[in-house]
């Protein structure tokens, strides 16, 4: 049950990262730049994750590189929240990312 909860947390963090990039974009610059960034930033994150990190990706990165990539995306989302003026959600997300990474390591779930 703990293993399932940890994988669910990882999925929720992936969704939260997409939302964080959209929030950052929407709060950066004036229209139409903010609208473009609110759409483009999460779209780029989704595309990169789908190609490089998704479990069924044809070009999935090797574990060491993929773990670094995934943590970098999450760090980028935390930084995006900070820059957009949402320090509370940024701290919560950072804490959950650390908790999830520890769980993925302890439970041997990085390959899932």
Q: With 90 as the cut, is the pLDDT of residue 112 above it?
A: no
Three-state secondary structure along the chain? Answer: CHHHHHHHHHHHHHHHHHHHHHHHHHCCCCCCHHHHHHHHHHHHHHHHHHHHCCCCCCCCCCHHHHHHHHHHHHHHHHHHHHHCCCHHHHHHHHHHHHHHHHHHHHCCCCCC
Mean pLDDT of 44-51: 98
Give the pLDDT band of residue 62 (cuts 50, 70, 90): very high
Q: What is the pLDDT of residues 3-23, one digit of tens each?
A: 999 999 999 999 999 999 999
Q: What is the Cα–Cα distance from 105 to 25, expressed in whole angstroms?
A: 32
> What is the model's pTM?
0.94
Between 111 and 41, the higher pLDDT residue: 41
């Amino acid at each position: 049950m703990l293993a399932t909860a940890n994988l669910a947390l990882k999925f929720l963090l992936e969704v939260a990262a997409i939302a964080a990039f959209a929030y950052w974009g929407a709060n950066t610059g004036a229209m139409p730049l903010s609208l473009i960034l609110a759409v483009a930033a999460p779209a780029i994150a989704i595309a990169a994750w789908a190609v490089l990190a998704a479990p069924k990706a044809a070009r999935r990165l090797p574990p060491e590189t993929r773990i670094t990539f995934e943590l970098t995306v999450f760090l980028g989302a935390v930084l995006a929240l900070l820059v957009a003026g949402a320090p509370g959600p940024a701290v919560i997300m950072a804490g959950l990312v650390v908790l999830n990474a520890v769980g993925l390591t302890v439970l041997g779930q990085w390959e899932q």
